[in-house]
């Protein structure tokens, strides 16, 4: 009977100890989760006050939440007497394996963070990056969505964008429209240049400052080639491009300039008798 009482007392002691630990673990989990939620809210509020980009807020919030949850789980396991060093090594091994298998995906994620922090472009900008030209619709976690001029939605990996040359056509207040004008060899190029500078200013959305540039660019068998370069806001680029070409054609025709046509001079010599 004494042995039975001893066993009963031992079982009660272990049960009480385990019960206390279970209740303590539950309390740790509840309080820990509440503190993690509080930390997330405080962090988001602080970043919102600093007017940080919402995408970056989500990045940082997710990273902090995952990190704190892992720390909480390791702490609870340590409270139960589990060797957390082995668990940490296992987590590290899994992380290395996932990183090796999903290296490209994680690279896109890291590149997305840099795009949000460095801000080479923002949503709504017209850019050329990763071999795609168009207007930015969304900067995602792993890819950026771009609507091309022919209205095709294109997703480009952030790693490809960040590792390539980025051109932001919206960043500056205006851009140059590059046009060409072929003149006949017999045409008065000086009069044509003066005329085109005047007519380009009448085209809608062409800026007067800086003024349009018209200069001789090249020569070929037909005659001189003029570089015609008006300036406009990026939103009006294609309108100015097409209207500018039409203005060149109509202005030169109305002024009576000869049509450029290829010509060759053939010299024939008779052999001496």
Any idea what the CATH number is for the domain that residue 151 is in?
A: 2.30.30.60
Q: Are 38 and 32 in contact (CB under 8 A)?
A: no
Distance (Å, rounded) from C-alpha 223 to C-alpha 234?
32
Sheet strands (E) in the chain: 126-129, 132-139, 143-147, 153-157, 167-168, 175-176, 179-182, 213-219, 224-229, 231-232
Q: Which two tokens stand for residue 83?
A: 């060797």
Is residue 94 domain-shared with residue 8, that is, in the same domain? yes
Is residue 53 domain-shared with residue 86, that is, in the same domain? yes
Each residue's pLDDT tens digit, 170-194: 999 899 999 999 999 889 999 999 9
Q: Which residues face 157 on adjacent strands?
A: 143
Residue whose token pair is 């959305």: 205
Is residue 149 domain-shared with residue 230, that is, in the same domain? no
Pick the range with the lowest mean pLDDT from 6-15, 239-248, 254-263: 6-15
Distance (Å, rounded) from C-alpha 41 to C-alpha 74?
23
* Residue 187: other Cβ atoms inside 10 A: 19
**pLDDT value at 53 more than 80:** no
Q: Are 88 and 74 in contact (CB under 8 A)?
A: yes
Distance (Å, rounded) from C-alpha 273 to C-alpha 263?
31
**pLDDT value at 25 more than 90:** no
Question: What single-letter DSSP state applies at residue 260?
Answer: P
Question: What single-letter DSSP state applies at residue 203?
Answer: S
Each residue's pLDDT tens digit, 81-132: 665 565 666 566 655 655 555 556 677 878 888 888 888 998 889 999 999 9
CATH number at residue 59: 1.10.287.1260
Is residue 130 domain-shared with residue 181, that is, in the same domain? no
Q: Which two tokens stand for residue 109?
A: 């994620």
Q: Which domain holds residue 162?
A: 120-168
* pLDDT attached to residue 227: 95
> Which phi and psi angles does 150 have, rounded to 5°?
-90, 20
Question: Cβ-count burial of 146 within 10 angstroms (0-12 exposed, 13-18 middle, 19+ buried)?
Answer: buried
* pLDDT attached to residue 71: 78
* pLDDT attached to residue 31: 82
Is residue 29 domain-shared with residue 68, that is, in the same domain? yes
Is residue 87 domain-shared with residue 11, that is, in the same domain? yes
Number of domains within the chain: 3
Is residue 24 domain-shared with residue 95, that is, in the same domain? yes
**pLDDT value at 134 more than 90:** yes
pLDDT bucket at 256, cuts 50 / 70 / 90:
very high
> Which phi and psi angles does 52 have, rounded to 5°?
-75, 145
User: How does strand 126-129 pair with strand 143-147?
Assistant: unpaired
Distance (Å, rounded) from C-alpha 215 to C-alpha 100?
56
Distance (Å, rounded) from C-alpha 191 to C-alpha 157?
51
Q: Which residues face 138 on adjacent strands?
A: 145
Q: Are 231 and 177 in contact (CB under 8 A)?
A: yes
């Amino acid at each position: 009977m004494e042995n039975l009482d001893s066993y009963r007392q031992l079982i009660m002691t272990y049960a009480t100890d385990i019960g206390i630990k279970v209740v303590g673990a539950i309390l740790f989990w509840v309080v820990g989760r509440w503190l993690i939620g509080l930390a997330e809210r405080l962090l988001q509020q602080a970043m919102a006050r600093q007017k940080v980009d919402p995408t970056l807020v989500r990045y940082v919030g997710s990273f902090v939440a995952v990190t704190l949850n892992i720390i909480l789980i390791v702490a609870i396991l340590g409270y139960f007497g589990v060797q957390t060093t082995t668990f940490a090594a296992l987590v590290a091994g899994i992380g290395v394996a996932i990183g090796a298998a999903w290296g490209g995906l994680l690279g896109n994620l890291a590149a997305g963070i840099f795009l949000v922090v460095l801000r080479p472009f923002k949503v709504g900008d017209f850019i050329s990056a990763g071999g795609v030209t168009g207007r930015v619709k969304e900067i995602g976690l792993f890819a950026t969505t771009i609507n091309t001029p022919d209205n095709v939605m294109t997703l480009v990996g952030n790693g490809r964008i960040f590792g390539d040359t980025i051109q932001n056509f919206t960043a500056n207040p205006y851009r140059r429209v590059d046009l060409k004008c072929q003149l006949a060899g017999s045409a008065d190029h000086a009069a044509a240049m003066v005329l085109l500078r005047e007519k380009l200013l009448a085209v809608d959305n062409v800026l007067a400052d800086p003024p349009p540039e018209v200069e001789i660019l090249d020569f070929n068998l037909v005659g001189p080639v003029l570089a015609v370069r008006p300036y406009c806001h990026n939103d009006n680029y294609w309108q100015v491009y097409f209207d500018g070409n039409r203005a060149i054609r109509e202005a030169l025709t109305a002024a009576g300039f000869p049509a450029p046509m290829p010509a060759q001079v053939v010299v024939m010599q008779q052999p001496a008798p």
